[in-house]
Amino acid sequence: MVLSHLERPLRAWVRERLTAVPAHGPASDYDLNPGMRTEAPPDLTAAGVLVPIIDRPGGATVLLTRRSDQLRDHAGQVSFPGGRIEADDSDAIAAAMREAEEEIGLDRRHVEVMGTLARYETRTGFVITPVVAVVEPRFELAVDSFEVAEVFEVPLAKALDEKSYERHTRIWRGAERHFYVLPHERHFIWGATAGMLVSLCRRLGA
């Protein structure tokens, strides 16, 4: 699907970078913690998330959500819209688009998929395909408050600047765990979401 009302330069540039630059960013929670690989779950659940780049006139942004505090898993954490690939989904792209509609009401007529990043494996048992898309900015959202507490945007220029990212350390199960963090205003973006943003940074910002 081609959206003629999107500015061609952004779409063309994102697609060119995804095609031209090989995947060499983080591909799992274990990249900074290779010793944790022995604890990896034997079976992984496939999932897809949407990485929405909003084509704002004042500068492109990346849309993110903060998960509701009442959820059982990863409550309160920053994430991309998305979830596991269901039986009715043809692939990770279909799952990411469906979940974005269900979670935040992002109508797919405003979304144009550009490509995907390397699949990201998490220590919690998921293998996630990040689906990069450019979004026309005249969308309206209908947020599912049970799943999503907040929707916010980070300037794309910040997300593509590797100096924006920090490496933090935390003790987990008696051992040091290292992870990426992208601080943004009052938000603390870390874990798999930060790892996938680093992948985006190294593909588009290379």
Q: Per residue in 100-122, pLDDT tens? A: 999 999 999 999 999 999 999 99
Taking residues 81-98, what's their average pLDDT? 97
Q: Which residues pair with 84 in a beta bridge?
A: 47
Q: pLDDT-derived band of residue 160, with 50, 70 and 90 as boundaries? A: very high
Coil vs helix vs strand at 40: coil
| DSSP H or E stretch at residue 64 | strand 61-67
Scanning the chain, the segments in alpha helix (DSSP H) are 8-20, 92-104, 156-159, 191-204
- Distance CA(77)–CA(96), nearest Å, equals 18
Residue 67 has pLDDT above 90, yes or no: no
Mean pLDDT of 164-181: 88
Which pTM value belongs to this model? 0.90
Residue 196 pLDDT exceeds 60: yes
In angstroms, rounded to a whole number, what is the distance separating the alpha carbons of residues 23 and 202? 8
Measured CA to CA in angstroms, residue 97 lies from 49, 104, 161, 167 at distances of 8, 11, 27, 31
Token digits for 26? 């983080």
Q: How high is the pLDDT of residue 4?
A: 39
- Over residues 40-62, the pLDDT tens digits come to 667 899 999 999 999 999 999 99
Query: Looking at the predicted structure, is the pLDDT value of residue 6 above 50?
Result: no
The residue ranges of every structural domain in the chain are 8-204
Confidence category of residue 73, pLDDT binned at 50, 70, 90: low
**How far is residue 203's CA from residue 20's CA, in Å, rounded to a whole number?**
9
Look up residue 150 and give its two tokens.
């907040």
pLDDT digits (tens, 9 = 90+) for 18-42: 999 888 888 898 999 888 877 666 7
For the chain, strand residue ranges (E) read 45-54, 61-67, 78-79, 82-84, 111-116, 120-121, 126-135, 148-155, 166-172, 175-184, 187-190
Tell me whether strands 45-54 and 126-135 are parallel, antiparallel or unpaired. parallel
Domain 8-204 has CATH 3.90.79.10: yes
